[in-house]
Amino acid sequence: MMKIRVINGPNLNLLGTREPQIYGNTTLGSIESMLGHEAREYGVEIEFFQSNHEGDLIDCIHEAARECCDGLILNPGAYTHYSYAIRDAVAAAGIPTVEVHLSNIHSREDFRKESVIAPVCLGQISGLGAVSYSAALYALVRKLRGAGQSERPMG
């Protein structure tokens, strides 16, 4: 069975209460529950990890490679903009990765507009709130299964 790991970085444990005008009212637990349901519909196994510590995130990425995870969904939080260590871990792991953000990082402060991690990912999805994770899961599963642009959606 295909295995996907969802990794969330700093402050994402505060979802639902942290700046709801930017990040919404949905909790991380609710997002995990939603993705768990969607993963079952796609017939894939899904795992979740969250840490506020850069080294723990890097260790989790390395572990995903050792455990032969098929794909990663990564919300690096603020590390998006400056963590070359996380970027290097994603590149070294060689696991297809989709970077995710709840808010549209391109419409926010200047420092948030650049991701040092996106260049080593399959793609980046941002600005859709919790749906960003659903979109990432859908896209990643399709990509891993070799679905082309012209094929019908999974169902």
pLDDT value of residue 107: 67
pLDDT bin (cut points 50, 70, 90) of residue 132 is very high
Q: Mean per-residue pLDDT for 108-135?
A: 91
pLDDT value of residue 148: 52
Residue 154 has pLDDT above 60, yes or no: no
Residue 54: how many other CB atoms lie within 10 Å: 16
- pTM, two decimals, is 0.89
Structure tokens at 68: 């032969």
The verdict on whether 101 is a catalytic residue reads yes
Of the ranges 17-26, 77-86, 113-122, which one carries the lowest mean pLDDT score? Answer: 17-26
Domains of the chain: residue spans and CATH: 3-144 (3.40.50.9100)
Yes or no: say if 95 and 89 are a contact pair by the CB < 8 Å rule: no
**For the CA atoms of 130, 134, 140, 145, what is the dihedral angle to 10 degrees?**
170
* Residue in 23, 81, 82, 106 annotated catalytic: 23
Burial of 94 (0-12, 13-18, 19+ CB in 10 A): exposed
Task: Please indicate whether residue 17 or residue 46 has the higher confidence score (pLDDT).
Answer: 46
Share of the chain above pLDDT 90, in %: 78
* Residue in 53, 79, 101, 138 annotated catalytic: 101
For tokens 């980046």, what's the residue?
A: 124
